[in-house]
């Protein structure tokens, strides 16, 4: 961490010195760096000052090659500072997430809030709780609709029937749960497999605000026809509303108590927290696509530490054959990224 901050400080110092009279110079202006930048303490192109021909400042990459300033490098620097601020002030670490995914989500929120720069967004999230929670939601897994992925539901039906019936008190972990509707989908499928009375669903989310939203969520009746269509498309029989109690005004519905009581919601950070239980099934396929390589490796190890023998692990893509963890698993079906633990 100190090396990243030192790199940023060095880059900003060099940029300010080189651009002191420029109209657009100032804190954070000039020549930014990306995450691979190093302090400008070595000669570049024969210059001990860190300048190229004609006095044009150069950014030194980790590979030792200089590159001239481009507007995108300022945005890269702003993004680094934003993620660092989120981590240092609030404890949520998105620095290991896929940078292209993070950039897209953060820029969308910046535009939605009507802010000109990511620096303005950083200032907002440091001083305004509503904006901070909006950023967390933007960076988190996209919310799911009930039965919105027919292939996922089919794999769940197969896995629940084959993997949980022989277990006395099975536990299923929805890691970085994509909202209440993902948990409701699982609860309904467990009920259809006669597993609901003895299966515990552990649904974890990143923040307390998301936790409160999930616990208080209800089904808008205005979307019932859309969700019923999802349900039928994924192989459901009968009426989805039979699993819910409708409010007196007919506008909302909540999952029936005997199903809702099987869901335990908790705040949990996949990036920093350790294994907290042993599970017969771990569903992490919705969270993993956003992770960069190092973080993905860390989370896969966490899942491996948390999965019981012969348990089921749902991923977003197949395990790399060269990954040491791959020898612990075999695919449930060919060309699918759902696995049974064998070692």
Query: What are the C-alpha distances in Å from 270 to residues 28, 41, 126?
Result: 31, 37, 23
- Cβ pair 160, 194 in contact under 8 A: no
Euclidean distance between CA atoms 160 and 163, whole angstroms: 5
SS (H, E, C) 190-209: HHHCCCHHHCEEEEEECCHH
- Write down the H helix ranges in the chain: 2-18, 71-90, 99-112, 118-127, 129-139, 150-163, 180-192, 208-216, 224-233, 257-260, 293-306
Which pLDDT score, from 0 to 100, does residue 177 have? 97
Which pLDDT score, from 0 to 100, does residue 56 have? 39
User: What CATH superfamily is the domain 150-341?
Assistant: Vaccinia Virus protein VP39 (3.40.50.150)
> Residue ranges of the domains in the chain?
2-139, 150-341
Q: What is the pLDDT of residues 30-76, one digit of tens each?
A: 333 333 433 334 333 443 444 444 443 333 333 434 433 344 579 89
Q: What is the pLDDT of residues 97-121, one digit of tens each?
A: 999 999 999 999 999 999 999 999 9
End-to-end CA distance of the chain: 36
User: What's the longest Cα–Cα distance across the chain?
Assistant: 78
Which pLDDT score, from 0 to 100, does residue 72 have? 58
pLDDT averaged over 10-residue windows placed end to end, the chain, 343 residues: 46 43 40 38 39 40 39 82 93 93 96 96 95 95 96 94 91 97 98 96 95 96 97 96 97 98 96 95 96 95 97 95 93 92 93
């Amino acid at each position: 961490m100190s090396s990243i901050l030192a790199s940023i400080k060095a880059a900003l110092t060099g940029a300010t010195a080189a651009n002191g009279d420029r109209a657009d110079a100032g804190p954070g202006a000039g020549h930014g760096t990306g995450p691979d930048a190093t302090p400008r303490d070595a000669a570049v192109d024969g210059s001990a000052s860190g300048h190229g021909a004609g006095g044009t400042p150069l950014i030194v990459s980790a590979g030792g090659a200089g590159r001239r300033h481009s507007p995108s490098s300022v945005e890269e620097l702003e993004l680094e500072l934003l993620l660092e601020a989120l981590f240092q002030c609030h404890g949520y670490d998105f620095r290991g997430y896929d940078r292209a995914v993070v950039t897209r989500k953060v820029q969308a929120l910046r535009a939605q809030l009507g802010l000109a720069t990511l620096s303005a967004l950083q200032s907002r999230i440091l001083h305004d709780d509503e904006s901070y929670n909006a950023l967390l939601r933007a960076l988190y897994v996209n919310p799911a609709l009930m039965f919105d992925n027919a292939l996922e539901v089919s794999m769940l039906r197969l896995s629940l029937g084959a993997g949980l019936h022989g277990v006395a008190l099975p536990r299923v972990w929805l890691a970085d749960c994509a909202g209440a509707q993902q948990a409701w989908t699982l609860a309904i499928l467990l009920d259809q497999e006669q597993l609901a009375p003895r299966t515990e669903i552990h649904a974890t989310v990143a923040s307390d605000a998301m936790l409160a939203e999930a616990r208080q969520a209800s089904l808008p009746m205005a979307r019932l026809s859309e969700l019923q269509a999802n349900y039928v498309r994924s192989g459901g029989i009968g009426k989805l509303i039979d699993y819910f109690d409708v409010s007196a005004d007919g506008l909302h519905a909540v999952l029936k108590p005997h199903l809702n009581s099987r869901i335990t919601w908790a705040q949990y950070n996949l990036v920093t927290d350790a294994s907290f239980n042993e599970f017969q099934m771990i569903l992490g396929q919705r969270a993993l696509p956003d992770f960069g390589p190092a973080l993905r490796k860390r989370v896969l190890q966490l899942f491996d530490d948390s999965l019981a023998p012969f348990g089921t692990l749902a991923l977003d893509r197949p395990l790399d054959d060269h990954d040491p963890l791959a020898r612990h698993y075999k695919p449930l079906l060919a060309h699918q990224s759902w696995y049974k633990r064998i070692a």
